[in-house]
Amino acid sequence: MVRCEGLVHIYKAERLEVVALQGLDLEVAPGEMVAIAGRSGSGKTTLMNILAGMERPTAGVVRVADHDLNRLGQSERERYRRETVGYVLQHAMGNVAPYLTAVENVQAATLTGPPRYRARMAAQLLDQLGLGQRLSRRPSDLAGHENQRLALAIALANRPRLLLADEPTAELDTAAAGQVLTDLTAVLREQGAAAVMVTHDPQLETYVDRVVMIRDGRTSSERRWVERQGELVNDELAIMDRAGRIQLPRAYVERLGLTGRVRLHLDDDRISILRAEGDVSD
């Protein structure tokens, strides 16, 4: 569904260049739900904007559902944004029209079918997302978690193959976030859509298939729950790119005081990284 290879994104502002992504790789299978985690400024929103077709990468490959996002012309790009992906922005109210009711908001986002059909589909989707009793309310009369649900419904109105959501539970308390995620994952499963969701919320991680950590504009490691000898364990793997680069966990690096050069040692089945003590430099 998603394939990013060596994605690079550079923002040019005035005389300053900010490298937001530096060689990011990511793959997402159809129907898979992936969370993206990482510190503020690590490039998460930039990645989402690229996947949403709103931003063109400076370099690298990005393919979503058979579309090469570098090759889309203007009209294809607009169609891609309307039909293939649904995007809930980091500040979800950006998705919602304040002067329309909940059901009108979703209906307006639905592209196909006669108006009566669209109204029914909109109501059904809102019902699945727990807003069945709020169809005629305007956003200003909805609670925070309800507006978040509405933004999700708008993004899902065209049954996109990929849902993108940037911190969909950031402004919700734990209980409300859990309920939103339960309803959202049910809709995603029913629609068979894949999802990439940015999060700082450890709770969200328990709803997805895997969590990809981004560090300094690159995927650094990945966590998932796996069953091992009958027990469920949270397994974390570092990600190595095609050139053999990996990012060591910061805590490991600090613990051993590694800087600059390190010594690699290959044994039969493992590679060790050692401090290059006592070396004559140069």
Ligand X SMILES: Nc1ncnc2c1ncn2[C@@H]1O[C@H](COP(=O)(O)OP(=O)(O)O)[C@@H](O)[C@H]1O
Where do contacts with Mg ion occur on this chain (CB under 5 A)? Answer: 44-45
* 13 versus 243: smaller Cβ distance to ligand X: 13
How many helices and strands in the chain, by DSSP H and E?
A: 8, 13
* 119 versus 170: smaller Cβ distance to ligand X: 170
Backbone angles phi, psi at 187, to 5 degrees: -65, -45
Least distance in angstroms from the C-beta of 19 to ligand X: 8
- Which of ligand X, Mg ion, none does 43 bind, CB closer than 5 to 8 A by kind? ligand X
Please pick, from the candidates 3, 11, 56, 117, the single residue that binds ligand X as defined by CB under 6 A: 11
* 85 versus 126: smaller Cβ distance to ligand X: 85
- Supply the Cα-derived Rg of the chain in whole angstroms: 21
Q: What is the DSSP letter of 274?
A: E
Please pick, from the candidates 30, 41, 192, 202, the single residue that binds ligand X as defined by CB under 6 A: 41
Closest CA to 196 of 55, 44, 76: 44
Q: List the x/- string, 46-75, binding to ligand X by CB under 6 A.
A: x-----------------------------
Query: How many residues sit close enough to ligand X to count as binding (CB under 6 A)?
Result: 12
Q: CA-to-CA distance for 142 and 20, rounded, in angstroms? A: 35
CA of 28: how far to CAs of 41, 73, 158, 215, in Å? 22, 24, 20, 18
Residues in touch with ligand X (CB under 6 A): 11, 13, 18, 20, 38, 40-46
